[in-house]
Structure 1
Amino acid sequence: MENLNRYFDLFDQSRTSEQAFEELVSLFSDDIVFVLNGHEKQGIENWKLFVKMVFKENADIKHMFEGWKAVEGTDKFETPWAVCGKRASGSVFTQTGKDIAKLDKNGKISYLENVPDDTNMFDTYKN
C-alpha cells in the first residue's frame, strides 16, 4: 500500500527530478499493465514512455487524491483524484477521475487503470 500512497507525489516530482523518476519507476513491477481511458499498454518501458510524454505535453502538473481504498470482493484498490496543470502550449486545465490498482506479492504496482471523467483526456496517448 505504501507504493500506492507514494505514486501521485512521485509522479508530480518526476517532471523535474530524475531521482524522483527513478523512485516512481521502482514502485511498479516490470510487467506492469496500465490502462489509459480504456487503452491497455504493458511493460515498464511503455510506462516510462507514457510518463515522459505527459511531461513533454505539460509544463507543470499537480495531482491530489482522496486515499486508496480496497474494492470489496476484489484484489484491487481505487482512489478518486483531481489534477491541475499547465500544458506546454501555456493553456491551463483541470481534470478529475479515479485510478484502480493492483499490487503484486512484493507490494509493487502490477496494474494501474486511469479512468478520467473526460473520456478525451488521453487521446494523444493512444498510439
Structure 2
Amino acid sequence: MENLNRYFDLFDQSRTSQKAMEELNHLFTEDMEFVLNGDKKSGIGNWKLFMERVFAANSDIKHMFEGWKKTADTDQYETRWAVCGKTASGKVYTQTGKDIAKLNNEGKIIYLENVPDNTELFQTYKEL
C-alpha cells in the first residue's frame, strides 16, 4: 500500500520534477489499466500520455486525500480526494471525487479508477 500512499504527492510533484515523474510511473505495472469517467485505457504508455495532457492543460495542481482503505470483501482500495488547480489559461478550479485501485503481489498499481464528482472534469482527456 506504500505505492498508493505516495501516488498523490508524486502526481503533484511530477509537474515540475522529472525525477518525481519517473518515480510516479514506477508505481505502476507496464500493463496497468486506468479509468477516467468510465473510459478505460491500458498500458503505461497511455498513462504517460494522460499525464502530459494534464500538465499541458494545468499550470498548477494540488491533491489532498483521506487515506486509502481496503474495501470489504474485495482486492480494491478506495480513497476520497480533493484537488485544486489552475489551468494553463489562468482559471482556478476545485474538484472532489474518489479513486479505486488494485495492487499486484509486488505492491505495484495494476488498476486505477478516477471517479470525479463532476463528470465533466476529464472530458478533455477522452481522446487518448
Query: Structure 1 length as normaliser, TM-score?
Result: 0.99
- 1:18-33, aligned counterparts within 5 Å? 18-33=18-33
Report deviation, 1:52. Answer: 1.0
| Structure 1: unaligned runs, 5 residues or longer | none
Partner of 2:55: 55
Counting only pairs closer than 5 Å after superposition, residues 45-84 of structure 1 correspond to structure 2 as: 45-84=45-84
Pairs aligned (count)? 127
Report the equivalent of 2:6: 6
Partner in structure 2 of residue 98 of structure 1: 98
**Residue aligned with 2:74, SS:** coil
Post-superposition Cα deviations, 1:54-99, rounded to whole Å, max 9, x if no partner, equal 0000000000000000000100000000000000010000000000
Give the share of equivalent positions with the same residue, in percent.
70
Q: Provide the C-alpha distance between the structure 2 equivalents of 1:56 and 1:4, rounded to a whole number of angstroms.
A: 24
Gaps of 5+ in 2: none
Cα distance between partner residues in 1 of 2:100 and 2:69: 10
How many angstroms does 1:44 deviate by?
A: 0.3
Structure 1 stretches of 4+ moved >4 Å = none
> Which residue in the other structure is 1:107 paired with?
107
SS at match of 1:84: strand
Matching residue of 2:34:
34
RMSD value, Cα:
0.3
TM-score normalized with structure 2 length = 0.99
Residue aligning to 1:116? 116
One-letter amino acid of the structure 2 residue matched with residue 40 of structure 1: K
